[in-house]
Amino acid sequence: MLYSLSSFKDTKLNFIVFFSIFAYYFMHDMEFSNVRVSDVKIAMGALIKSMRVRRKLTQVELAQRLNRSRITIQNAERGNNVTLDTYLLILQFFGEIESFNDYIQSKIDDCHEIESIY
């Protein structure tokens, strides 16, 4: 499943959708589903590019503001391997880190609720 740039017009909604896919894959004891890691990385790259273009930034400008190389930004947008720190820094720059943190906290809370049933 590939995502085009046009599918990420509503950044907030698609941010939640992206991380729902991410969390589903990683929160289910690595059960394999139809979602592949490469699909999620490509979706994340499309989201990053969409946020950058919306702000009218070039890859060079974003890289300079994040103290990263243009190649790192290019790799992130292509879905190539970059560090988690880089992904989080990008999310922070675009004002999405709080949404991501809230989502992660809600998943942690969900796990605790399930554990407390037993």
How many of the other CB atoms lie within 10 Å of CB of 26? 13
Residue 61 burial (C-beta neighbours within 10 Å; 0-12, 13-18, 19+)? middle
CATH number of 5-111: 1.10.260.40
How many of the other CB atoms lie within 10 Å of CB of 47? 26
In degrees, to the nearest 5, what angle opens at C-alpha 47 toward C-alphas 65 and 57? 35
pLDDT (tens digit per residue) in 51-106: 999 999 999 999 999 999 999 999 999 999 999 999 999 999 999 999 999 999 99
Question: Phi and psi for 104 in degrees, rounded to 5?
Answer: -60, -45
What is the model's pTM? 0.69
